[in-house]
A and B are shown apart, each in its own frame.
Chain A
Amino acid sequence: MGRTPKTGRSRRSPVRSMLLHGTLILASLIAIGPIVWVLLSSLKPGYAIQSTQLTLFRDTTLANYSYVLTETNFPRWFLNSVIVAAFTMTIGIFLSATTGYAVSRFNFPGRRPLMMVFLITQMFPVAILIVPIYTILARLGLINTMPALIIAYLTIAVPFCAWMLKGYFDSIPTSLDEAAALDGCGPFAIFWRVVLPLARPAVAVTAFYTFLTAWGEVAYASAFIQTDNKFTLAYGLQQFVPQFNPQWEYLTAAAVLVTIPAGLVFFFAQKHLVSGLTAGGTKG
């Protein structure tokens, strides 16, 4: 935003300019260093990774990728993760969209407690829900199935989506609602025909973020899933690096494959992400 006067840049002395750029370059290197290192390592054969000699490139090969994609259950885990994350995202958004709207627009009894509940559920540690949910799901015979994970993830996704969407709906002017009401729309019609179409980017961002949360969840996936062909990525990748004889060459290749789609999704969403998170809180 051009709020520092234009003279700002020309008045910065060369030393300060170098310091500024130097710091930012260093920070950027630290930020991308580990990612680049994993990427480079994934292109090396196992013996080159295990060597104590530090090299950027050595015997560059795509063998790790083809091994991971063809000889392991990785594609299966990938599919499982997509399924679980997609269901969590869809169900979460569907359930919480109207709630976000109601909490944003109407002043009804129970509104403030509901907002508090959304906030408090953010602080529920995995530890308190994982055991009761596990015993309940075990009684229903759902342990080691995909629905078990989806149900567990909804405990995180639903309050989170409602919170985020409320923040986004707050930023849509209420005058639009009022105009539609004058035209004779009921509250549901206003939500469905006026507000939701306007909020499409916000819904998309919330959906993306829910997807990514489910995509990267570790605790429930480690506790609820027991057989190899049902693992999600977050748990499956642990199989590559057991305590003894870890196979880092496959892990790094798998890590790159996992990060690419998540990173793409993320970049489309991130610009709008933070505004929703913080707006939900400050305009309570």
Chain B
Amino acid sequence: MSTVTAEPAPSSAPPGPSARPSRLRRSWEKHWYAWAMVLPVVIVLAVLIFYPLIRGIWISFTNLTEANQAAEICTRSITGGEVCAENPNKWEFVGLDNYVRVLTGEVGEFWQWTGTTLIWTVVCVACHFGLGLGLASMLNRPMRARGLYRVLLVLPWAVPAFVSAFAWKFIFNERFGLANALLSAVGIDPVSWFSDRWTALFTAIVTNVWLGVPFMMVALLGGMQTIPGELYEAAEIDGASAWQRFKNITLPGLRPVSMTVVLLGTIWTFNMFPIIFLVTEGQPAGQSEILVTGAFRAAFEGIRNYSLASTYGVLILSILLVFSVFYRRALRKQGEVW
């Protein structure tokens, strides 16, 4: 094996035990090193992701909770020995019960959380992209102090998300936070941010937008810089206005980058755990919860309800899969590569 081109020429294959090499064998000889190279990752994916995934799906069809997970209940007798009996309330297969209970709203607030998640995702990604695009196109011009602006604008990305969450929770503190102080400075009554669903969600969205714009900005700026300058010069000679140049050169030129970052951004925001978890903590009364944090609280607060949390997990993953299938199809229709 001495060639690494995409289609390596079959080198002198050592004669195997069987005289005529099967298709599988030929394939093996051609690709064994590629497979050997991906093997560690495939094993890790299988053990750490796919096995748990299958288990998670299975758990969602049971009624497993912290209370009924033991197969046996052991009690210490007076003599010091242990008597174990089978747990009469052991967890069992319950079919689609969890899904029915979740989707009909019997437990939890699936539809409210889904609504919140959609609002949260759409608003955040739209703001990320819009602000990122605006700032990137401003930074993409020659001007004074461009490097300084770039560094300052990227700063929020350098702060770990959980630290930003605490910082904004501090700013939105009802009694002594900066936000209320600024509001009263301009004569507006202080707002108790976390006692209303919408203001609570607003604080989380502000936090996440602040956090996410730098990524979009840097990504789009990088995309803009790959657009050949001659296009702009030609357009300028033809008398195109700045807006026309933006619309007809910059935006189409950014398509490959923006498609990827919007897809990634949507998925990341949809699953964005720390912001809601730390900033609003679901206040008031779980109303500002998104799906991921709602599922987490179902799983790990109070009596841990593993099966219910898995049900949410499966539902969230299904939503995302459906979304990305449609997204990819839309991209393909417009002639994108993948």
**A270, B316: Cβ atoms under 8 Å?**
no
Please measure, in the bound complex, the distance between the C-alpha atom of A119 and the C-alpha atom of B232, giving whole angstroms: 35
Assuming the contacts A238-B278, A275-B222, asked whether A155 and B37 have C-beta atoms less than 8 A apart, the reply is no
Query: Is residue A109 contacting chain B, with contact meaning CB distance below 8 A?
Result: yes
**B55, A127: Cβ atoms under 8 Å?**
no
In the assembled complex, which residues on chain B have CB atoms less than 8 Å from the CB atom of A123? 267, 270-271, 317, 320-321, 324
Q: Which of the segments B82-90, B101-109, B120-128, B157-165 contacts the partner chain?
A: B157-165
Which one, B40, B159, B236, B324, contacts A35 given CB within 8 A? B159
Question: What is the interface residue range for chain B against chain A?
Answer: 35 or more
Query: Is residue B299 contacting chain A, with contact meaning CB distance below 8 A?
Result: yes
**B267, A191: Cβ atoms under 8 Å?**
no
Q: Which of the segments A58-66, A98-106, A196-204 contacts the partner chain?
A: A98-106
What 0/1 pattern do residues 36 to 77 of A give for CB contact below 8 A with B? 011001000000011110100000000000000000000000
Which one, A4, A30, A98, A187, contacts B4 given CB within 8 A? A187
Please measure, in the bound complex, the distance between the C-alpha atom of A24 and the C-alpha atom of B148, giving whole angstroms: 10
Query: Is residue B44 contacting chain A, with contact meaning CB distance below 8 A?
Result: yes
**B49, A106: Cβ atoms under 8 Å?**
no
Query: Is residue B119 contacting chain A, with contact meaning CB distance below 8 A?
Result: no
Query: Is residue B79 contacting chain A, with contact meaning CB distance below 8 A?
Result: no
Query: Is residue A15 contacting chain B, with contact meaning CB distance below 8 A?
Result: no
Query: Is residue A79 contacting chain B, with contact meaning CB distance below 8 A?
Result: no
Query: Is residue B277 contacting chain A, with contact meaning CB distance below 8 A?
Result: yes
How far is the CB of A239 from the nearest CB of chain B, in Å? 12
**A21, B143: Cβ atoms under 8 Å?**
yes
Please measure, in the bound complex, the distance between the C-alpha atom of A263 and the C-alpha atom of B185, giving whole angstroms: 32
What 0/1 pattern do residues 80 to 124 of A give for CB contact below 8 A with B? 000000000000000110110111011111110010010111111
**A24, B138: Cβ atoms under 8 Å?**
yes
Query: Is residue A215 contacting chain B, with contact meaning CB distance below 8 A?
Result: yes
Which one, A124, A188, A223, contacts B299 given CB within 8 A? A223
Query: Is residue B191 contacting chain A, with contact meaning CB distance below 8 A?
Result: no
Query: Is residue A244 contacting chain B, with contact meaning CB distance below 8 A?
Result: no
In the assembled complex, which residues on chain B have CB atoms less than 8 Å from the CB atom of A23? 138
Assuming the contacts A5-B236, A131-B56, asked whether A34 and B158 have C-beta atoms less than 8 A apart, the reply is no
Please measure, in the bound complex, the distance between the C-alpha atom of A216 and the C-alpha atom of B35, giving whole angstroms: 33
CB nearest neighbor in A for B256: A282
**B317, A35: Cβ atoms under 8 Å?**
no
CB nearest neighbor in A for B165: A218
In the assembled complex, which residues on chain A have CB atoms less than 8 Å from the CB atom of B251? none
- A residues 228-266 near B (Cβ < 8 Å) are 233-234, 237-238, 241, 248, 251-252, 255, 258-259, 262-263, 266
User: Number of A residues whose C-beta is below 8 Å from B?
Assistant: 111
**A129, B53: Cβ atoms under 8 Å?**
yes
Please measure, in the bound complex, the distance between the C-alpha atom of A35 and the C-alpha atom of B228, giving whole angstroms: 37
CB nearest neighbor in A for B3: A181
**B49, A3: Cβ atoms under 8 Å?**
no
What is B's interface to A at a CB cutoff of 8 Å? 1-8, 27, 30-31, 33-35, 37-38, 40-42, 44-45, 48-49, 51-53, 55-56, 59, 64, 69, 135, 138-145, 149, 152-164, 166-171, 173, 175-176, 178, 181-182, 185, 210, 214-215, 218-219, 222-223, 225, 227-229, 232-233, 236, 256-257, 259-261, 263-264, 267-268, 270-271, 273-274, 277-278, 291-292, 295-296, 299-300, 306, 309-310, 312-314, 316-317, 320-321, 324, 337-338
User: Would you list the 7 A-B pairs with minimal beta carbon distance, nearest first?
Assistant: A3-B229, A128-B313, A127-B295, A216-B160, A102-B37, A284-B338, A132-B52
Please list 13 pairs of residues, one from A and one from B, whose beta carbons are closer than 8 Å in the complex, sorted by A's number.
A1-B225, A3-B233, A9-B141, A21-B144, A32-B155, A34-B167, A106-B34, A125-B316, A126-B292, A132-B53, A132-B59, A155-B52, A248-B170
